[in-house]
Amino acid sequence: MSSSTAKIVKLDLKEPFVLKKGEVLEEIEMAYHSFGNLNQNKDNVILVCHALTMDSQCCNIEDKESDDGWWSFMIGPNRPIDTNNFHIICVNVLGGCKGSTGPLSINPKNNEPFGRNFPQVTINDMVRTQNLLLEQLGIHHLHAVIGGSLGGMQALEWSVAFPDKLDKCIAIATGGRLSTQGLAFDIVGRQCILNDSDWQEENKQNDNQFTGLALARMIGHITYISKKMMDEKFGRKLQKGWKESGFNTAFAIESFLKYQSEKFIKRFDTNSYLFLTKAMDSYDLASDYDSLAESLTRVKCKFLIISMSSDWLFPPEDSIDLAWTLSKQDKEATYANITTNLGHDAFLIDDKEVAPMKNIVEAFLG
């Protein structure tokens, strides 16, 4: 029978952790969830890396009726990532706000929350702290690392940073770096926060409900869904019961974006959003090498690269370029493009259009 665990672990650091950009963290806690049983050889572990605003609770195998678990349709008993066979670990990223060390954590130097003074973290820092946690748990090798979007970047980084530690890498709706258009949306979103007068007041740093964060989420959400989905679901329909007031409209798409932003600011920390989007923007798989091809010469695992046909945050050509570069390096890489109108977030939605993704992942994991 599958089991599940949720813990926060203080890393047993032999010395302060030096971040890629040079700053130092003297203490680090990592929050994680695990699902399924670890076998005797500890060789059935799959690390699931979460997307930008998700957390370590990737599924809920105890209560099938619960909404908890952002990937429950993918992970669990007899599901594509089968907890009857695999031990699943999902870690809240460094810089996050769901238990791992981040802006909400107490700075041991002054016993106050880090807030905006938290050091800048990178995808590489996230992966290295995940590795430290796994080592501390006695897990030295992974059957697979899988993730979508920001999680896919982590999966790719795992393949380069620790090439001997994983057999398979599954990168979904992601790329070796974010496009200029993607950068632009993130930059405008952060500017909404940075120019929010409430956020600028230090004494309000623990109040997450900033107008700036809500606006940033609205901008971000536009990139997560496709134009066709917007047209089909909302079009120019008006929201029943809404009346125009000032410059507000009664368009259904406006009420949808406001609803999504209001939900989001109740569960996510403003400063974490700033640091994590900056980490995503800064990531470039080839940054320490002369080219993407050179960065991939060191990888040893098998790859599954999956794109979503209507994703314009990480368009299919990004995944094709990655898979093609791997194949030219004589690496074993499988590429699949899922035909869907659901946009970037399709990999998070349990829909018949995404059923092929479930089958492909299940087959690849073996």
Q: Which residues of 30-63 are buried (b: 16+ CB within 10 A; e: fewer)?
A: bbbbbbbebeeeeebbbbbbbbbbbbbbbbbbee
Closest listed residue to residue 312, CA positions, set 156, 178, 186: 178
Q: First-to-last CA distance in the chain?
A: 20
Active-site residue, selected from the candidate residues 2, 100, 149, 255: 149
- Cα-based distances in Å from 145 to 21, 229, 246, 365: 25, 30, 49, 10
Taking the CA atoms of residue 210, residue 214, residue 220 and residue 226 in that order, the dihedral angle to the nearest 10 degrees is 170
Is residue 307 within 8 A of residue 319, CB to CB? The reply is: yes
344 in active site: yes
Q: What is the DSSP letter of 181?
A: H
CA distances 23 to 59, 96, 122, Å, are: 34, 17, 11
Which residue in this structure is represented by tokens 């950009």? 21
- Is 255 tagged catalytic? no
- Given the structure tokens 């890489």, which residue do they identify? 333
Reported as type and span, the H/E element at residue 200 is helix 197-200
Strands 45-49 and 87-91, sheet pairing? parallel
Catalytic annotation, pick one of 311, 318, 319, 345: 311
Q: Collapsing DSSP states into helix, strand and coil, what is residue 252? A: helix
What residues have CB less than 8 Å from 117, skipping those under 6 apart?
Answer: 107
Ranges of beta strands (E only) in the chain are: 4-10, 17-18, 24-25, 29-35, 45-49, 75-76, 81-82, 87-91, 106-107, 112-113, 142-148, 166-172, 302-308, 333-338
Residue environment code for 134-166, b if the CB has 16+ CB neighbours within 10 A, otherwise e? beebebeebbbbbbbbbbbbbbbbbbbbbeebb
Q: Choose, from 33, 50, 344, 345, the residue flagged as catalytic.
A: 344
Q: Is 180 exposed, middle or buried (0-12, 13-18, 19+ CB in 10 A)?
A: exposed
Name the residues annotated as catalytic: 149, 311, 344
